[in-house]
Structure 1
Amino acid sequence: MSGRGAERILDLIEWLASRSEAVSLAEVVQALALPKSSTLLLLRTLVEARYVTRQTDGRYLLIRLPGEPSEANSGWGTILRVAEPILRETVAAIEETGFIAVLTDDRQVRYLNKILPMREIRYDRDIATQRVAHYVASGLMLLSGLTDQELETYLGRSIPTEDDPDAIAERVSAGRLEGYVANLYGRVEGAAGVAAPIRDPDGRIVAVVNISGPRERIANNLDRVTEATVEAARRASEELSRRIFKNGKTHGRN
């Protein structure tokens, strides 16, 4: 795309983001003073990229901004910007280490950030290394967001032979039911953690809040840590939905 074309499509996205309702091709042409043929091409480009949906009446509606999550785009940058301030507050209050984690396409856990508490003895982890999903609280919570078929595929292909698929499925089911996963005996000796889901407006799990620390300390304060983790995830979910819905936009699966 030429420099002028890139400028036009950015102008179009900004204008659509300021609209509270779907707009017609004629309205866009008039507002931006663009040729009809060029405007139609720009709109089609945005529809194909799933930034815009074309409704049955022929009008166009912006459904997400660049960086925001969708079925085709994980939107990790937006999730991190939304969730990190909330996580920082939670870490300061609970005095344990906090993470935002997501599930990659190959079903590994990726940590987007790490916030350490201001205390001498604290849990740390190398977030450059991805984790096997069912080995950590974050991964078990993220797996609970898969469909039954997707989870079955994961259990059939992605776990070492020494791991029990039925036991993993049971823990994932418990996470779905309870709305969080507490893992007091993780892969790192002496560490424990709790994870709760960040959901998009459609209820899909797009990330998790994870609070981790020394096992004894987490176990002795499990109710408090769990409550703080769940509340942080709830607030992050609300803020993500507010961001997606602002300016009257709707969010759906198109």
Structure 2
Amino acid sequence: MASEQQQTSTARSGASRVMAILDALASADPAVFPDGMSVADVARVLGREKSVVSRQLKSLLETGMVARRPSMRYELSWRLFALAVRAGDQRLTTLAAPLLLRLTETVRERTYLSVLSDGEVLTVLSEGSRRSIEAVNWVGRTIPAHRSSSGMALLMDYEDEHILDLVRRSERGGSDREAREFLAQVREARRRGYTVANRIFDPELVGIGAPVRDFTGRIRAAVNISGPAFRIEPHIQTLAGHLLSTMRVLQSSLGSDVRSCTDPSDL
């Protein structure tokens, strides 16, 4: 038993040291380290022996977690970025599932979690209201970004010209007039903090959406409520309040994961 506990403790200690190195490389100021960090740089930042850091960096290089430039300086690898994106996507849906269920139970309308995929909105998670009349479950299907409240939310940080171009070039795109009307709605959503798609996808449906940002501030997904116009329209502000509360909890959960992984005590 003591041997197993010792092995577990050693493994945790080793993982903490690896995370500290990765965090040091990720936190490197580009102005100070334009070509990456040398072994000596990493050792100095972490307060460790150069020989120990050198061995750890070589192990990370072999696994593909870090890359080494011709100058023999180190930086995070693209493989690590790719893994982080995939892990972030899985974590996002895991955290969002119970929150969508709670939101649906509160507003009694179908809710969705969506992401942007090749210029269109892809629904990755949905929770039904179990009412006889409700919006359709769109999980795994895409719709044009300019025809949904989620699309407006996902594009809120894009430059205006990029939004216009995206709408015009979409396979199911619209006219120049539609593009400008959509942009006007996005601009209003930026001011208001949430989006409203009033009968632009279906003449009988109204959607309300909000962007979900990761710890860097980048929009990663959108949460939205959709339902029959006769039920949604009279209560848009109230429903938006519940939606924004859910979005904030989800964002806080995503941020807390990152903070717990970069605990200064690990350094």
- State if a TM-score over 0.5 links the two structures: yes
Name the structure 2 match of 1:41.
61
The one-letter amino acid of 1:78's match is R
Q: 1:110 aligns with which of 105, 122, 129?
A: 122
Distance 1:154 1:74 in 2: 28
Distance 1:249 1:215 in 2: 47
Cα displacement (A) at 1:248: 2.1
Query: What is the count of residue pairs matched by the alignment?
Result: 223
Distance 1:12 1:103 in 2: 38
2:145 paired with 1:133: yes
Name the structure 2 match of 1:228.
242
The one-letter amino acid of 2:132's match is E
Percent identical: 22
Superimposed CA distance per residue, residues 97-148 of structure 1 (whole angstroms, 9 cap, x where no aligned partner): 11001111x2100000110124333222333320000101110111112234
Distance 1:15 1:65 in 2: 19
CA RMSD between the two structures: 3.6
Q: Provide structure 2 residue ranges, at least 5 long, that are not aligned to the other structure.
A: 1-10, 25-41, 68-72
TM-score by length of 2: 0.69
Q: 2:188 aligns with which of 146, 163, 174?
A: 174
Distance 1:130 1:246 in 2: 34
Change in Cα spacing, 1:149 to 1:247, as seen in structure 2 (3 Å) is same
Name the structure 1 match of 2:27.
none
| 1:60-209 equivalences in 2 (<5 Å) | 68-69=84-85, 75-104=88-117, 106-148=118-160, 150-158=162-170, 159-161=173-175, 163-209=177-223
The one-letter amino acid of 2:226's match is S
Change in Cα spacing, 1:155 to 1:244, as seen in structure 2 (3 Å) is same
TM-score by length of 1: 0.73
Q: Provide structure 1 residue ranges, at least 5 long, that are not aligned to the other structure.
A: 1-9, 49-56
Change in Cα spacing, 1:40 to 1:203, as seen in structure 2 (3 Å) is closer
The one-letter amino acid of 1:41's match is L
Cα displacement (A) at 1:189: 3.2
Q: Secondary structure at the match of 1:175?
A: helix
Change in Cα spacing, 1:194 to 1:183, as seen in structure 2 (3 Å) is same
Bigger radius of gyration, 1 or 2?
2
The structure with the greater share of residues assigned to helix is 2
Change in Cα spacing, 1:216 to 1:169, as seen in structure 2 (3 Å) is same
Superimposed CA distance per residue, residues 30-55 of structure 1 (whole angstroms, 9 cap, x where no aligned partner): 59xx9567425247x2235xxxxxxx
